[in-house]
Amino acid sequence: GAGVSQSPSNKVTEKGKDVELRCDPISGHTALYWYRQSLGQGLEFLIYFQGNSAPDKSGLPSDRFSAERTGGSVSTLTIQRTQQEDSAVYLCASSPGGGQPQHFGDGTRLSIL
């Protein structure tokens, strides 16, 4: 596809369950970012992958959060033992490289009951 693709678009799950969110970046983009945005709030940086370098995980809020990027393309953000405060829109963005403009996906709206 032409843009960043995220799935699912919406996810409702019970507290304590694990969830996986997927991001398929724009083809050829080496940089991939995950953000979280709560209602009415700014973007909260979670993690950044750049090529084959070790990811910048400095934004992950707890060890319940992890992310992988396989083959330098698709990324999965996993949240274990979900809590109600994890409810937010999770946004993925990609760019051709560091310092270049990011292009965002439509996000995954996560609701924890």
In whole angstroms, what is the distance from residue 75 CA to residue 33 CA? 9
Q: How far is the CB of 43 from other proteins (least distance, A)?
A: 5
| Residue placing its CB nearer to other proteins in the complex, 10 or 83 | 10
Is the separation of the CB atoms in 19 and 50 below 8 Å? no
Q: How far is the CB of 101 from other proteins (least distance, A)?
A: 5
State which amino acid sits at residue 32: L
Q: How far is the CB of 54 from other proteins (least distance, A)?
A: 10
**Pick from 3, 53, 47, 6: nearest CA to 28:** 3
In whole angstroms, what is the distance from residue 9 CA to residue 12 CA? 10
Q: Which residues would be at the binding site for other proteins (CB under 8 A)?
A: 33, 41-43, 45, 48, 53, 56, 91, 93, 98-107
| Residue placing its CB nearer to other proteins in the complex, 48 or 65 | 48
| Residue placing its CB nearer to other proteins in the complex, 6 or 82 | 6
| Residue placing its CB nearer to other proteins in the complex, 38 or 78 | 38
In whole angstroms, what is the distance from residue 82 CA to residue 78 CA? 10
